[in-house]
Structure 1
Amino acid sequence: MDEIEALSSIYGEDWCVVDEDEKIYCIKINDCLDQPKWTLCLQVILPPGYPTAEPPIYQLNAPWLRGQDYMELANSLEEIYVQNLGESILYLWVEKIRDVLIEKAQSSDPEPDIKKTSEEVDEDDGADFLLDYQPIQEDPIKMLNYITSESQEGDEERPSIHHGDPITDRRSTFQAHLAPVVTPRQVKRVLEKLYENKKIASATHNIYAYRIYCEDKQTFLQDCEDDGETAAGGRLLHLMQILNVHNVLVVVSRWYGGILLGPDRFKHINNCARNVLVEYNYVPSVEESSKQAGKSKKIRKDNKKRTEH
């Protein structure tokens, strides 16, 4: 609470309380120019274990924040968290973002054009989701080539691939595929193996995201791919960040059935992904989560009673 009070005083009107009970806050950050060119909105949820045991859950909202820009900024925020474990970090996050915006304002780079590539175009695609991601490469396999090309290691064993149950809605079908991965080379090999399947290769979109925990650097190597379904990869990666899953690749194939689904398509993509993560024990099921939450609530109540007595 001391941190929140300090941030509210420092940033004034740019600091916004979205939900005080749930500890959801939002801050508008700009490049400090009289007429800001680069702006970004950082929304954070402070979990019960913050700052001693849990990091903030965050979303980044900026129409220009895509591709390399997004990944570099997200990795910087995670590095700040790792370097300051157990400490309040929101001020450090805000000022790091501000430094990035100032650097962009001082550069001659124009704001990038944002184009949609999905066959479905929604007016509210960016409105209902704050973390909007655009792939760097058109070919999902090419995206990983530059990461693995410098590696002199021999071929690593290809991880086993698991397939989730499909979801069908208005003739469109969605199916998730999952593989445990610990290196970018393994990600590449899994993708290559999946695309050998003619049915998967013929999917309208093969959206994927992966998160690999680097023990030596205590940080994450992560990326995602829309494969033409604008913002879907970013949404999938964000789901995996919220669930805090490690060392896993999730691919969601979509076969378009000719009927526009609107925002429902993102719901099906994330539901497929979550279902397969639950099935293979990367996250607890809803029932297990409810039991754990109930136990935690009971412990807090018991501790409160003892304190009052």
Structure 2
Amino acid sequence: MTPGNDENKELQEEELLAVCAIYGDSILQKDEHDSTDDQSVYLLTLNVDQDDPDTKSPRIMVLRLFLPSTYPSTDMPVFEIASLYCGHRKVDTTMTLAIQQGFEALFQTGQVVLFEWIQWLRDYIEDTVDLAAIDVAPVITPPSQEDKQVNDITTAAIDTTMPSESLPSIFSSEPLVDRKSTFVAHVASVDSANQVDQVRRALLANKKIAKATHNITAYRINLPGDRILQDNDDDGETAAGGRLMHLLQILNVKNVVVVVSRWYGGIQLGADRFKDINNCARKALEDCGYVETATTKKKGKKKL
């Protein structure tokens, strides 16, 4: 049954709330002076370089979005590019057509699509629009021959001013996909808070993981005197870190850190997201040998 206008409006409102919850209210502003009974008009402002305030020519793209009353049941949003430039590059016909084709390829009848559009547009801008030449470039010392043999992700992640503890091996689970949201658990053996920090920084040095909507963390470490050092981080997914920590406590696993990356797919999962996070984490712990099962089998694990 095709949704009516009322259901479309409800889906639009839920989508707009979700997008603003993830990116902040500033990314979408309703144009109160330009709307009709059949559609709502919004300004979408995407600043790819907002985390780098020193960028002299930030890559900003502004779109005018028209949400017709038939979206998402039959029609996709209509957009026009309001920016004349993105960073130092002029927005030309080639860029406009590429964005149009990219957006059209993502839309599926009956499915909201704004989150996927924003993610796609961010990747497109980062891949096709270089930072302006006038931006101050960091001074890079050529690596020694010995440095070249070090794993790339380790080199990128570890601050040389930190105590010299070796980076633990990090293993990533197979993706768990639920209604377009993707969950991947990363597990590493650790025996200090410093190693936990190293693992997190190594993971975030991976471009794909850094772009995850949330990277939820929990760890437990044995200390002398039968004491336990433990902590967790929601990373914006309220209560998820505490629930992940509770899982580690129930399983009685120690000297381990678990980071669950979630890429939001545009459909709200409600409380099911906590189940997905914990199921993904538990499976990774089982695969890494932290949890005994009746049919435990050593399986090959993908090293990050």
TM-score (norm 2): 0.44
Q: Which has the larger radius of gyration?
A: 2
TM-score (norm 1): 0.43
